[in-house]
């Protein structure tokens, strides 16, 4: 929680007493960039900076670990709570060590997860799957009431999100042309952070990332925090290994000064677990520019590929 606190409080008010709007905005942007980098390094986990011109906000987010399970014993040993599954269902040929074989009439259940990790801001899943050849459709993994990863009737990977809306939650579906073979393990990675939905198989992006025009949150889910494989007619059958689940946490939302106009459109700068710009998303340094005053003064804050931060402005 101390690490998450880094995101939520770093730099708050550090530049509040500076008179010029461009200085204050520069300070807030640098705070967000440094908060994301510090979180990534301390947690050894991905982090990001959201640049939202429509809301005049720049803030940090991080991917907080919610749980890990390796399926090395019948006790379902894992963090923060054991997995619940049938005894004697381990396979010797897992990705690393053994794997879990989810058989007919069996369900993998991950219960008693801490509520603080069930964030409406988003989630991440990384898991190795080797689904049985039949049946279809099947639910690979789900957080009931919030999200589900499935194979449809044609054996294509499908994602479903329940998004908060008024008067009731609405379902968002993403269909893909991707398939998970039955003869080997495939690594499935999913990240939803309210602005981007990213899907990858074996480290390769599945199609283009889905970009949401306005920030979205996951709907409230009833009952305790629970993740499971499919049940009833959508029951999952197959092997599963090396499962990790994460939750998106957001830093302080503090609007930039009223006369500051950020350049460009909504975007997300992503850092890896070393605090560097993630090479899977960025090939060069990234710049956040804004204008303020009359005549306009243009200021640029740059995040280097190694996480360094610098800034410069036009002459006043």
For 159-168, write each residue's pLDDT tens digit: 999 999 988 8
Instruction: State in words which class domain 64-245 has.
Output: mainly beta
pLDDT tens digit string along 237-263?
999 999 999 999 888 888 999 999 999
Confidence bin at 8 (pLDDT 50/70/90)? low
CATH tag, 2-56+255-313: 3.55.40
pLDDT tens digit string along 211-221?
888 889 999 98
Average pLDDT, the chain: 90
Confidence bin at 303 (pLDDT 50/70/90)? very high
Give the count of beta carbons closer than 10 Å to the beta carbon of residue 229. 25
User: CATH 3.55.40 in the chain, residues?
Assistant: 2-56+255-313
User: CATH 2.60.120.200 in the chain, residues?
Assistant: 64-245
pLDDT at 15: 39
Which range among 5-9, 62-66, 99-103, 229-233 shows the weakest confidence by mean pLDDT?
5-9
8 A C-beta contact, residue 51 and residue 268: yes
d(CA 190, CA 181): 18
d(CA 56, CA 24): 13
Per-residue pLDDT averaged across 92-112, rounded?
A: 93
> Does 9 score more than 60 pLDDT?
no
> Does 11 score more than 60 pLDDT?
no
How wide is the angle at C-alpha 210 spanned by C-alphas 206 and 212, nearest 5°?
170
């Amino acid at each position: 929680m101390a690490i998450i606190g880094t995101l939520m409080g770093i730099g708050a008010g550090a530049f509040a007493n500076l008179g010029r709007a461009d200085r204050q905005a520069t300070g807030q942007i640098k705070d967000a960039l440094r908060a994301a980098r510090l979180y990534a390094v301390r947690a050894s986990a991905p982090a990001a900076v959201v640049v939202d011109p429509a809301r005049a906000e720049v803030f940090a987010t991080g991917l907080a670990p919610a749980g890990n399970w390796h399926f090395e014993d019948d006790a379902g040993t894992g963090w923060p709570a054991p997995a619940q599954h049938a005894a004697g269902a381990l396979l010797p040929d897992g990705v690393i060590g053994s794997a879990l074989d989810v058989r007919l009439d069996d369900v993998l259940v991950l219960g008693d997860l801490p509520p603080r990790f069930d964030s409406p801001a988003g989630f991440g899943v990384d898991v190795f799957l080797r689904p049985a050849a039949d049946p279809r459709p099947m639910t690979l993994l789900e957080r009931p009431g919030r999200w589900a990863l499935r194979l449809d009737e044609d054996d294509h990977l499908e994602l479903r999100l329940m998004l908060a809306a008024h008067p009731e939650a609405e379902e968002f579906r993403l269909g893909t042309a991707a398939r998970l073979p039955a003869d080997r393990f495939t690594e499935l990675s999913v990240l939803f952070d309210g602005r981007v939905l990213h899907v990858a198989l074996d480290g390769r992006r599945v199609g283009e990332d889905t970009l949401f025009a306005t920030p979205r949150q996951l709907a409230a889910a009833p009952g305790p925090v629970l993740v499971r494989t499919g049940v009833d007619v959508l029951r999952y059958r197959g092997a599963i290994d090396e499962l990790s689940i994460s939750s998106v946490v957001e830093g302080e939302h503090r609007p930039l000064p009223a006369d500051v106009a950020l350049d460009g459109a909504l975007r997300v700068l992503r850092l890896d677990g070393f605090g560097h710009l993630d090479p899977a998303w960025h090939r060069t340094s990234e710049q956040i520019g804004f204008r303020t005053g009359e005549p306009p003064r243009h200021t640029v804050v740059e995040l280097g590929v190694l996480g360094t931060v610098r800034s410069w402005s036009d002459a006043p």
